[in-house]
Amino acid sequence: MTATRKDSRAKADTVLVIACGMIAREVLAVKERLSFDHLELTCLPAEFHYYPDRIAPALDKAILQAKADGYRHIFIGYADCGTGGMIDRICEKHSVERMEGPHCFAFYQGIEAFKAIEDGDMLAFYMTDFLCRQFEAFFIKPLGLDRHPELIGEYFGNYEKVVYLAQTNDPALDKVAEDAARMLGLTYERRFTGYGDLTTTLRAKAGKTPADA
């Protein structure tokens, strides 16, 4: 068997997760926890969080490329993520599935748990491990708050609280979230979620390929 044919066979037996860059570290952590050597990850830019209209077209291209490369088992590591159903249309077009729920803040907490508290969180500004690590790059600098702190009220005046959805127990990240709440003038709440539905979903969707059956 040639190297090309071996590579093609390997990809055919692999589950490829095409995910948001904001959850890359978490997908890899779940992969390691589940010992899923047959799972591979590719990511779209995390900055698409701010440009949801770019997600579906980029996913369309990524799925087409993955299929051209020989991947037969593809899972989408996105919820709806503010696309108004556009991701669902791409998933339907290519006969692939995605993470359940409206956004990662929901599936980290667990969809059923999120449904129970979402009304009380209408005015919550969510942070995750990723957003704590990237708080300056994702919020402070793009919004110009380092140069114009007076804009904080304009951007965050309608929020009541910062809710840190912690995937890990990291005091350094806790401090970032607490400092963010203080800077924004909001109350602070920490919820340890772990990886939430990400673990159970990847276990269910990527647990087996036809080669394993």
Residue 21's alpha-carbon distances to 111, 186, 193, 201, 210, in angstroms, are 21, 27, 19, 18, 28
Average pLDDT taken over every residue of the chain: 92
Domains present along the chain, CATH in parentheses = 3-103+197-206 (3.40.50), 111-192 (no CATH)
> pLDDT tens, 53-92?
999 999 999 999 999 999 999 999 999 999 999 999 999 9
Q: Which neighbouring-strand residues pair with 66? A: none
Quote the pLDDT of residue 13.
83
If residue 57 lies in a helix (H) or strand (E), which one and from where to where? helix 55-68
Whole-prediction pTM value? 0.89
How far is the C-alpha of 31 from the C-alpha of 91, rounded, in Å? Answer: 22
> pLDDT tens, 84-99?
999 999 999 999 999 9
Which residue is it, tokens 């402070």? 140
Quote the pLDDT of residue 2.
46
How far is the C-alpha of 39 from the C-alpha of 114, rounded, in Å? Answer: 27
% of residues, the chain, pLDDT over 90: 79
pLDDT at 191 over 90: yes
